[in-house]
Amino acid sequence: MNAGRFAGKRVALYARYSSHLQSCASIEDQVHRCKQFIETHGGQVSPELVFTDQAISGASIARPGFEALMQAVVDHRVAVIVTEDMSRISRDFADAAQIFKRLDYLRVPLIGVGDGIDTGMKMGRMVYQFASMRNGLYREDLR
């Protein structure tokens, strides 16, 4: 990736943690890491494009912050989404497939900082699908 990849683009950031047993600082840590990544690549994130969900599982897409993010995408207020890793977006394979399909249709790439997934890249679709399966299996193992 070059240093100007996000320059002039409306970049959204999504962060989530799963349960009340986790630290609230997790959101701050994820936001900080993603902002650093975005700034390193020539972009900025407006506060209104930072979406979060606290103590909500990724097993469902019925999450207020995530729903607001997707509405911003549909409203064409977002050109790219950055998250810490794809497990923040979804831990359900079917939901992840629907999310990918919608973002792909709207031409909005999804980038995972920690796992290096970029759905805007040629192999992004396949890597995203493998990660989605892995994330779903991890959720099952936690049960």
Sorting pLDDT into bands at 50, 70 and 90, what band is 129? Answer: confident
Helices 64-74 and 93-105, axial angle in degrees (round to 10): 20
Q: List the beta strands (DSSP E) in 17-75.
A: 50-53
Quote the CA–CA distance of 62 and 3 in Å, as a whole number. 35
Q: Which residues of 75-107 are buried (b: 16+ CB within 10 A; e: fewer)?
A: eeebbbbbbbbbbbbbbbbebbeebbeebbeee
pTM for this prediction: 0.86
pLDDT in tens, 114-126: 999 999 998 877 7
* Strand order from edge to edge, sheet including 110-112: 50-53, 11-16, 80-83, 110-112
Percent of the chain beyond pLDDT 70? 84
pLDDT tens-place string over residues 6-55: 999 999 999 999 865 556 668 999 999 999 999 999 999 999 999 999 98
Secondary structure (3-state) at 38: helix
